[in-house]
Amino acid sequence: MPDATPRTPSFGRRFARVGPRMDARGAADHRRRLVAAAHGAVIEIGAGYGATFPHYPAAVTAVLALEPDPTLRALALAAATRAPVPVTVQDGRAEALPAADASIDVVVSSLVLCSVAEQSAALAEAVRVLRPGGLLLFYEHVRSANRVLGAAEDLLTPLWSRIAGGCHPNRDTAAAIARVGLTVQDLERFGFSALPGNPRVAHILGVAVKAGA
């Protein structure tokens, strides 16, 4: 599959700088809650610099962490050596997961479904690799439910997407998850200001289940 992700080579370096500041403002706690239900064989898409790795619980047997950005992938490789569970880091994209059908217990997405080039393709891949009863754990920023703020995010998206690694601030990711046939079991919606001076942006944190266990 051709790589349709907009190329912003400096994004990885910038995210490696700002990510730890976001973590200190509350994102680390969001990540801890995100993966609390993780277990068995896990695929984490767009793992970034590995900020989620320290939070994986002991019920996880192995994590395959995919990261297409070389700068972030190198940092994730280092973070994997300190992780409490076995983590393998490799190049890869959410739209083409290197796993057999129905072979994975949990897919984890932390602030990635805003950035994937083809969100519906990425979600279809998660459904394909999850075993029946498997979980998609998601933590994402999403389009505001406020009409004016949502419209402002629509206006901002073309520019923001170019400078922020393909990020779309106006995606209704919870609806997209439901559209691929996953059942959203838990869904928390909250505002979060990722950096000082930044507006509080709508985020979702939750669990979706593949039917058929």
Residues of the shown chain interacting with ligand SAM in the complex, contacts defined by CB under 6 A: 5, 15, 19, 45-48, 51, 66-69, 72, 93-95, 110-112, 115-117, 165-166
Q: How far is the CB of 150 from ligand SAM (least distance, A)?
A: 20
SS3 of 166, please?
A: coil
CA-CA distance, 135 to 39, in Å (whole number)?
9
Give the residue with the Cβ less far from ligand SAM, 123 or 174: 123
Q: How far is the CB of 65 from ligand SAM (least distance, A)?
A: 9
Residue 202's nearest CA partner among 157, 145, 164 is 145
Q: How far is the CB of 183 from ligand SAM (least distance, A)?
A: 23
| Nearest residue to the partner ligand SAM, using Cβ | 48
CA-CA distance, 86 to 145, in Å (whole number)?
39
Instruction: For helices 70-81 and 11-22, give the axis angle rounded to 10 degrees.
Output: 40
CA-CA distance, 48 to 92, in Å (whole number)?
12
Give the residue with the Cβ less far from ligand SAM, 158 or 213: 158
Q: How far is the CB of 194 from ligand SAM (least distance, A)?
A: 10
Give the residue with the Cβ less far from ligand SAM, 45 or 89: 45
Give the residue with the Cβ less far from ligand SAM, 105 or 140: 140
For CA atoms 113, 116, 119, 121, the dihedral sign is: negative
